[in-house]
């Protein structure tokens, strides 16, 4: 009964983290758009560096708070919100995994930005809609079990996103290569983070972020220097001397820390595939928000795509709920079977005690054997 109640709680918590992640994702996308267009901060690699600085500082603040809680014997806000967080010491294999993940994380940002220089935004988004399919393939390769119903329910979502962002589909051969590489890195990042959260390392999301963010910060500043962004910023003192511009950039960094925590928590409590589906739904939400706020026109094809995605996402959620309920029912059956077996063993022990106490007082051994045999047959039928 305890396991059943705990599973129900985890499902509700995972859904909540998924909703928070989606809202946070939409928020930071709009904020980054403001940074690029409103305050004229066209330095995506340096912005990613600022994000990683905020993530590094944020994770350290969480660990300092937890250390204070341990010293005072209290439960602070971070522990109540994020659960029990344990700072693990990594062995050589774990350190290699973190370094590899930080490289994948940084390359995903870098290649994504490079691809946008050679292809249209619509083509980039259509290609990115295939990330869930690639995530399924990678998940199967690493031994994850994904039901056929869940795989089938992903197909209309992929098609719907492609329809929703269909428009200017211009691209170059080099751009096509970069975009394909970007899709692979995006799927690889989700699968890799899922493995480190639920695999052999079993890191808490905040712990993973604390290990990874300083490394990714280094990779991002290197990319920013190589692309000339640092030199360009240094030549424009009106950028770093303007409190409004720096405020937007730093606020984007704070949202990034919040987003990464929500992303890793949602990944740990659901699955990499579910997170990819939520990302596709986020794209559709962004189209709707852009249409309302920025008056971006949409075609009939785009509108139909939005409807298909919403219906497909509802179908995927329905399949997920059914599978969760199936797990709950299986746990209840196992618990019930276990209780029946314990009751039968207890009855058998009582019968043996009676035989010993009566020994030779007229108890027929054949009747006792028949009685025990009948109970065993009954137990088999019950099982």
Q: What is the pLDDT of residues 287-305, one digit of tens each?
A: 677 667 656 667 788 778 8
The 3-state DSSP class for residue 235 equals: coil
Give the pLDDT confidence score for residue 271 in this predicted structure.
67
Who has greater pLDDT, 238 or 336?
238
Q: Which two tokens stand for residue 211?
A: 């290990």
CA–CA gap between residue 324 and residue 317 (Å, rounded): 10
Say which range, 151-160, 272-281, 296-305, 340-349, has the weakest mean pLDDT: 340-349
Least confident window among 54-63, 196-205, 286-295, 365-374: 365-374
What does each C-alpha distance from 125 to 6, 47, 129, 155, 324 come to in angstroms?
A: 38, 21, 6, 16, 31
- Residue 215, pLDDT > 90, answer yes
- Name which of 19-28, 51-60, 326-335 the model is least confident about: 326-335
Look at 179-193, 206-220, 260-274, 337-351 and tell me which has the smallest mean pLDDT: 337-351
* Burial (0-12, 13-18, 19+ Cβ within 10 Å), 154: buried
Using 50, 70 and 90 to split pLDDT, how confident is the model at 217?
A: very high
**Can you give the pLDDT at residue 374?**
39
Q: pLDDT at position 291, please?
A: 66
Place of tokens 């390359």: 107
Which pLDDT value is given to residue 378?
41
Q: How confident is the model at residue 225, as a pLDDT?
A: 93
The most confident of the ranges 126-130, 256-260, 276-280, 362-366 is 256-260
3-state secondary structure of 370: helix
Give the chain's end-to-end CA distance (angstroms, integer).
19
User: What is the arithmetic mean of pLDDT over 57-68?
Assistant: 86
pTM over 0.85: no
pLDDT-derived band of residue 370, with 50, 70 and 90 as boundaries? Answer: very low
User: Which of residues 328 and 106 earns the better pLDDT score?
Assistant: 106
Contact predicate 175/115, CB 8 Å = yes
Q: What percentage of the chain has pLDDT greater than the value 90?
A: 6
Q: pLDDT band for 186, please (50, 70, 90 cuts).
A: confident
The residues that bridge with 119 in the sheet, in sequence order, are: 171
Return the domain boundaries, the chain.
2-330, 335-382
Question: Which tokens is 122 given?
Answer: 């619509």
**Mean pLDDT score across all residues of the chain:** 74
Question: Which of 313-322's residues contact partners 24+ apart within 8 Å by CB, and which partners?
Answer: 313/157, 313/277, 313/280, 313/281, 315/153, 315/156, 316/150, 316/153, 316/154, 316/157, 316/274, 316/277, 319/147, 319/149, 319/150, 319/153, 320/150, 320/274, 322/149
Check pLDDT > 50 for residue 122.
Answer: yes
Position 346 scores a pLDDT of 61
The token pair at 302 is 């785009």
pLDDT of residue 57: 92
Q: What is the pLDDT of residues 152-180, one digit of tens each?
A: 888 887 788 778 767 656 667 888 888 88
184: its two tokens = 């692979």
**CB count, 10 Å around CB of 142?**
12
pLDDT at 364: 42
Q: Give the pLDDT band of residue 377 (cuts 50, 70, 90).
A: very low
Q: What is the pLDDT of residue 231?
A: 92
Please report the pLDDT score of residue 69 as a whole number: 81
Enter the DSSP assignment of 270. S
Q: What's the number of CA atoms in the CB half-sphere (13 Å) around residue 214?
A: 7
Q: What is the pLDDT of residues 3-52, one digit of tens each?
A: 444 444 444 566 777 777 777 777 777 777 667 667 778 888 888 899 88
pLDDT at 221: 93
- 209 contacts 55 by C-beta, under 8 angstroms: yes
Cβ proximity of 209 and 51 under 8 Å: no
DSSP code of 179? H
């Amino acid at each position: 009964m305890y396991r059943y109640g705990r599973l129900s709680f985890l499902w509700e918590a995972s859904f909540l983290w998924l909703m928070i992640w989606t809202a946070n994702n939409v928020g930071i996308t709009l904020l980054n758009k403001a940074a690029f267009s409103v305050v004229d901060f066209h330095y995506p690699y340096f912005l990613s560096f600022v994000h990683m600085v905020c993530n590094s500082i944020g994770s350290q603040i969480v660990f300092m708070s937890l250390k204070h809680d341990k010293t005072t014997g209290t439960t602070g806000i971070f522990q109540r919100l994020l659960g029990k967080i344990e700072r693990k010491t990594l062995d050589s294999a774990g350190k290699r995994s973190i370094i590899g993940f930080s490289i994948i994380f940084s390359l995903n940002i870098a290649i994504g930005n490079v691809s946008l220089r050679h292809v249209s935004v619509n083509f980039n988004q259509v290609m990115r809609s295939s990330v869930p399919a690639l995530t399924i393939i990678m998940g199967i390769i690493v031994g994850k079990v994904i039901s056929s119903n869940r795989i089938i329910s992903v197909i209309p979502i992929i098609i719907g996103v492609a329809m929703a962002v269909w428009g200017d589909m211009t691209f170059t051969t080099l751009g096509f290569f970069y975009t394909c590489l970007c899709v692979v890195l995006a799927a690889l990042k989700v699968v890799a983070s899922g493995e480190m959260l639920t695999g052999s390392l079993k890191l808490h999301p905040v712990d993973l972020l604390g290990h990874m963010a300083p490394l990714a910060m280094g990779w991002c500043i290197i990319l920013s220097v190589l692309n000339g962004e640092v030199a360009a910023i240094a030549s424009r003192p009106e950028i770093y001397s303007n409190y409004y511009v720096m405020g937007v950039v730093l606020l984007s960094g704070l949202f990034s820390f919040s987003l990464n925590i929500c992303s890793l928590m949602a990944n740990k409590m659901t699955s990499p595939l579910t997170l990819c589906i939520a990302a596709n739904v986020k794209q559709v939400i962004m189209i709707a928000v852009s249409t309302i706020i920025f008056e971006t026109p949409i075609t009939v094809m785009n509108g139909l795509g939005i409807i298909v995605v919403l219906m497909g996402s509802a179908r995927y959620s329905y399949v997920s709920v059914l599978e969760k309920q199936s797990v709950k029912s299986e746990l209840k059956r196992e618990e019930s079977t276990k209780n029946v077996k314990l009751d039968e063993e207890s009855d058998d022990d009582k019968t043996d005690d009676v035989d010993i106490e009566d020994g030779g007082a007229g108890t027929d051994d054949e009747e006792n054997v028949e009685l025990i045999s009948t109970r065993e047959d009954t137990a088999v039928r019950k099982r």
